[in-house]
Amino acid sequence: MRKFLLTLTKIVLSILFRVEVIDRHKVPREGPALLCASHNTMLDMFFLGFRLKRWIYWMAKEELFRNPLAAYVLKKLGAFPVRRGTADIGSIKNAYKLLEENKIVGIFPQGTRIKSSKRTYPVKSGAVMIAAKAGVPIIPATVCGSYRPFSKIKVIYGDPYYIEKKGDRLSKEDLSEMSRDIMRRVHDLAEGK
């Protein structure tokens, strides 16, 4: 079912949009990684996985899983729910498990859809905590375009990097600064397009 849904997604996106993928080679061919991206529309997770040979397991808001049909499709596409506004231990454990299995986990660090130009929107610290504890690289990524049918969409991947820990634990200030740094890297990709 997953391959069928992926093929269907690729066909639909290829028909409706002119998709250009930039620096796809920056996504590691193997091993665990955390892909962190801007979140403009519901289509972002599809565009970001569109031409990758690897599967991205997306952390998605719990509300999307309330509809049984949507939940079925999302789970088949590799998404798993997260309760926003709480420290959702279950979803964090799920992310660690996937990373231990050498998968790519996708996270939208700002926790909600926003206009890509809003650099000042608050950033959650979950991505930094997961990447630091799991010792996996973060891959910044972004999707740029109007999202109107038949328009051009650019999917851009940045250089993978590791969280530099200062001691055994990261302070609240470290978490905040490193979380903002993730989004700075993401926004820089969009602005350098």
Q: pLDDT tens digits for 80-111? A: 988 876 677 888 999 999 999 999 999 998 76
Please classify residue 86 by burial: count the beta carbons closer than 10 Å to its beta carbon, then call 0-12 exposed, 13-18 middle and 19+ buried: exposed
Evaluate if residue 167 carries a pLDDT over 70.
no
pLDDT at 100: 97
Task: Say which CATH class 2-191 falls into.
Answer: alpha beta
Q: Is the pTM of this model over 0.85?
A: yes
Give the pairing of strands 138-145 and 152-157: antiparallel
For residue 177, the tally of other CB atoms under 10 A from its CB is 13
Highest mean predicted confidence (pLDDT) among 39-43, 53-57, 167-171: 53-57
DSSP lists the bridge partners of residue 80 as 59
Q: Which residues pair with 20 in a beta bridge?
A: 154
Give, as one character, the DSSP assignment of residue 24: G
Share of the chain above pLDDT 70, in %: 91
